[in-house]
Amino acid sequence: MTSKLQEGILVGCGNPLLDISAPVPLKFLEDYGMNVDDAILAEERHMPIYRQLVEGYQAEYLAGGSVQNSLRIAQWILRQPNVAVFFGCVGQDDYADILREKARAAGVDAHYQVSPDTPTGTCAVLITGTHRSLCANLAAANKFTIDHLEQPANKALIDNAQYYYISGFFLTVNPPSIMRVAATANAKQRPFLMNLSAPFISQYFMEPLLAVMPYVDIIFGNEAEAHAFATAQGWPADLDLREIGKRLVALPKINSERPRIAILTQGCDPVLLIQHDKVQEFPVTRLAVHEIVDTNGAGDAFVGGFLAQYVQGKSLDVCIRCGNYAAGHIIKNPGCTYSGEPEFNE
Ligand code: AP5
Ligand code: NA
């Protein structure tokens, strides 16, 4: 990083979750009716998972929550604290203290709303070999309200930011808050970035997703999420990822002077950048099997690396290459964590 960035230039909203991660036998998933690559919200029948993981398996606690992951990675690359501000809701408990400490240590300026009667949200990360299945118990994260954004100090943070990033996951929590941030971004002609986050968002939360889409300047997603969006839209089943990307960027947009961009990742295959009807590919450096610890958080880290460059006004080319660098790095570390100093060269 060369010149100093404005503090709070980037604002993110999402679910602050503490990940409880452990290797489990397949039977564990079967018992809960889960698949190896799920990302789901916990229902009543999933509630025993968390205690079972802690008591019966080698569980690790890691700071999680998709947007917080991305902001922590962005901060790691930027090496200047408090560039990123985060809003989300936690409880009043030890887990919240862990999240607060992890955010602070990473340089993320977290302004949590606190729901005193609800435990902090957790995400079970069930590892079966190279697969991972996620089950999020949002708990306090689900208690986020727009009042928090209306507090004068928080409102000032939003007004002062230049870039905004919100996950699709947050659509299950508080669409009015998303619409508020999106409208502010639009009024100030500042970029609003969003993530498709998981197939279930398109399957079950299409209405609020489509409501915010006209404000979205950059939409991120992986293959499965893009296909889930296409299916939920009733687009032809044989559309490939490029065609889905072209249709995503062609959806109605309020600020038509800044056409939407879609950035779709596909694991170790090239990242697709879709602008107008043009598709560009950015290759991924394939990691050797022995280098991979787990791919958990790869998508979040990609966005984090992207954001670190984007807020510096770098070209999309540099942003995407930094996204791939960051994702590659966290794959060599447990969960969405990093080690050492960043080594990204434009
Ligand atoms: P998880 O879904 O694991 O994270 P993710 O960031 O989406 O990572 P994935 O591994 O699914 O990656 P991807 O498929 O998005 O990307 P792709 O493979 O294309 O979730 C982690 C977090 O989600 C947890 O911390 C949890 O707290 C949170 N969460 C769950 N539910 C939530 C909820 N309801 N609300 C909020 N948070 C929630 O890869 C992306 C990039 O990675 C590629 O472009 C490439 O650069 C790189 N890459 C991938 N594979 C390789 C490879 N083999 N070699 C080299 N590079 C690779
Ligand atoms: Na990892």
14-34 pLDDT, tens digit per residue, is 999 999 999 999 999 999 999
Confidence check: pLDDT of 121 > 90 = yes
Atom of ligand 1 nearest to the CA of 336: 25
How far, in Å, CA of 288 to CA of 34, rounded?
A: 29
pLDDT at residue 335, rounded to an integer: 83
**Pairing mode of beta strands 192-195, 269-275:** unpaired
Handedness of CA 14, 18, 63, 132 (dihedral sign): negative
| Rounded mean pLDDT, 191-208 | 98
| Rounded mean pLDDT, 240-248 | 98
| Rounded mean pLDDT, 97-109 | 96
How far, in Å, CA of 255 to CA of 161, rounded?
A: 19
pLDDT at residue 129, rounded to an integer: 85
pLDDT at residue 295, rounded to an integer: 84
| Rounded mean pLDDT, 202-229 | 98
| Rounded mean pLDDT, 126-141 | 93
How far, in Å, CA of 336 to CA of 269, rounded?
A: 20
User: Residue 158: left (phi > 0), alpha (psi -120 to 50), or beta?
Assistant: alpha
pLDDT at residue 293, rounded to an integer: 86
Query: What is the CA(242)–ligand 1 centre distance, in A?
Result: 20
Confidence check: pLDDT of 149 > 80 = yes
Any ligand 1 atom below 6 A from CB of 122:
no
Confidence check: pLDDT of 13 > 80 = yes
**159 has catalytic annotation:** no
Architecture of the domain defined by 10-16+65-120+139-331: 3-Layer(aba) Sandwich (3.40)
Closest by CA position to 118, among listed 98, 146, 99, 137:
137
CA distances from 340 to 30, 77, 306, 329 (A): 38, 11, 19, 10
* Owner of token pair 């950035």: 263
Q: Which ligand is nearest to the CA of 337?
A: 2
Q: How confident is the model at residue 157 (pLDDT cuts 50, 70, 90)?
A: very high
pLDDT at residue 171, rounded to an integer: 98
| Segment 42-82, tens digit of pLDDT | 999 999 999 999 999 999 999 899 999 999 999 999 999 99
Q: How confident is the model at residue 161 (pLDDT cuts 50, 70, 90)?
A: very high
Confidence check: pLDDT of 196 > 70 = yes
C-beta separation of 86 from 14 below 8 A: yes
| Segment 182-193, tens digit of pLDDT | 999 999 999 999
3-class DSSP state for residue 324? helix
Q: Which residues surround ligand 2, an ion (CB under 5 A)?
A: 294, 296, 330
Q: Which ligand is nearest to the CA of 21?
A: 1
Confidence check: pLDDT of 208 > 90 = yes
pLDDT at residue 2, rounded to an integer: 52
ipTM: 0.92
Q: How confident is the model at residue 296 (pLDDT cuts 50, 70, 90)?
A: confident
Domain boundaries, the chain: 10-16+65-120+139-331
Would you give the DSSP letter of residue 141?
A: G
Query: What is the CA(297)–ligand 1 centre distance, in A?
Result: 4
pLDDT at residue 24, rounded to an integer: 97
C-beta separation of 172 from 212 below 8 A: no
Burial status of residue 265 (CB atoms within 10 A of its CB: 0-12, 13-18, 19 or more): buried
Closest by CA position to 211, among listed 160, 185, 261, 176:
176
Pair of tokens at residue 140: 């306090």
Would you give the DSSP letter of residue 255?
A: -
pLDDT at residue 130, rounded to an integer: 77
Q: Provide the β-strand partners of residue 111.
A: 87
Any ligand 1 atom below 6 A from CB of 296:
yes
User: Given ligand 1 and candidates 15, 40, 50, 134, which is best to mutate, with the most ligand atoms within 8 Å of its CB?
Assistant: 134
Any ligand 1 atom below 6 A from CB of 225:
no
The H-assigned helical ranges of the chain are 26-31, 48-56, 66-78, 94-106, 147-150, 152-160, 175-187, 199-204, 206-212, 223-233, 241-250, 298-310, 316-331
Query: What is the CA(43)–ligand 2 centre distance, in A?
Result: 26
